[in-house]
Amino acid sequence: MSCYEKKPLSFEAQADQLLARGLQADRDILITRLQAVNYYRLSGYLFPFRQRDADDQPIDIFVPGTTLDMIWHRYNFDRRLRVLVLDVVERIEVAVRTRLVYHFAHIHGAFGHLEPNNIPGLKKISEYLEWQTKLVEEPEQARNEQFVRHFFTKYGDFHRELPIWMLCELMSFGSLLTFARGVTPAMQQTVAGEFGLPDELFFSWLRSLYSLRNACAHHSRIWNREFGNAPKTPGKNKFPNWHTAPEIPNNRVGYLLTICHFWLVKISPTSQWRTRLFELFDEYPEIPLLNMGLPENWREHPLWKG
């Protein structure tokens, strides 16, 4: 291990360094871009354009012909892709939350979440208390919401917590995942089954979409990212289309987009999300599909035709 001793560079010095490494750009425009987008952030889009040495290791020289316009196009594509992903993941999250809270409330009542025995999957009391603390904090942060103010104005003398069907509107994705993991296996199977999924696959996909959503919410690059928390692939007998060639690797964003489309069709069959996604790709035909895990004819794949 060694000490990190790099010094911060001015925007002008950052631009000069990129130009010296072979990036083709107008210096003034490049400086303006660097003022808008952190150098380190932009470097994630520059990385695929670095030359490689004899051992196939990247070096700090760009492939001849690498231009700022090429990099900026990929950056903008990725930014707009994140917006589409946030849109579809929100709809999936809300649908899952709605079904889960519906079944839980009908069995355990409005305040059933206050009883640890109703959430047996959180086996350690410390785990339940940590989840419960977050549930208490989320309404506190949303006191200006009209329905929150109304509830505590009318019922605050008797209740310190919101009923579960109100609380779910403030529940973060992370709290939702913990809640889903904590309810009984029978309830998990019921909710997963309503989306046509086995419960194990349901949780795997939900966790992966949570990771994808966090990457988008933190404005991280996703278009050529390799996701460590790869979702499970459905079984071949029940879901043969997921095993149709050409294969879509499950550690790339293309697979997660496929999950989003597949799930959204079950929630809202008339959604135009797929059309908007296709339109984005049409606007950026230079984006390498291989980096996204999408085959050349991905739109003709059975999973995307329906």
Task: Identify whether 154 is part of a domain.
Answer: no
Query: Which tokens belong to 275?
Result: 């059309």
Pairing of strands 50-52, 58-62: antiparallel
Q: Both 292 and 234 in a single domain?
A: yes
- Find the helix packing angle between 173-182 and 125-140, rounded to 10°: 140
Q: Both 93 and 242 in a single domain?
A: yes
Q: Both 51 and 91 in a single domain?
A: no
Q: With 0-12 CB in 10 A as exposed, 13-18 as middle and 19+ as buried, what is 64?
A: exposed
Task: Identify whether 147 is part of a domain.
Answer: no
Q: Both 249 and 227 in a single domain?
A: yes
Identify which of 33, 17, 16, 36 has the alpha carbon closest to the alpha carbon of residue 69.
Answer: 33
Q: Both 192 and 218 in a single domain?
A: yes
Q: Both 24 and 172 in a single domain?
A: no
Print the domain residue range for 28: 18-33+47-66
Cβ atoms of residues 268 and 91 within 8 Å: yes
State in Å, rounded, how far the first CA of the chain is from the last one.
Answer: 52
Q: Which residues of the chain, if any, have pLDDT below 50?
A: none
Task: Identify whether 135 is part of a domain.
Answer: no
Task: Identify whether 189 is part of a domain.
Answer: yes
The pLDDT, as a whole number, for residue 136 is 72
Task: Identify whether 258 is part of a domain.
Answer: yes
Q: Both 62 and 111 in a single domain?
A: no
Task: Identify whether 62 is part of a domain.
Answer: yes
What is the number of domains present in the chain? 2
Strand, coil or helix: 109: coil
Task: Identify whether 217 is part of a domain.
Answer: yes
Q: Both 52 and 171 in a single domain?
A: no
The pLDDT, as a whole number, for residue 19 is 97
The pLDDT, as a whole number, for residue 139 is 57
Give the number of other Cβ atoms within 10 Å of residue 195's Cβ.
Answer: 18
Q: Both 22 and 119 in a single domain?
A: no
The greatest distance separating any two alpha carbons of the chain, rounded to the nearest whole angstrom, comes to: 73
Strand, coil or helix: 51: strand
The pLDDT, as a whole number, for residue 292 is 94
The pLDDT, as a whole number, for residue 227 is 87
Q: Both 100 and 227 in a single domain?
A: yes
Q: Both 183 and 292 in a single domain?
A: yes
Q: Both 104 and 230 in a single domain?
A: yes
The pLDDT, as a whole number, for residue 306 is 62
Encode pLDDT of 201-241 as tens digits.
Answer: 999 999 999 999 999 999 999 999 888 889 999 999 999 99
Quote the radius of gyration of the chain (alpha carbons, Å). 23
Give this prediction's pTM.
0.91
Task: Identify whether 299 is part of a domain.
Answer: yes
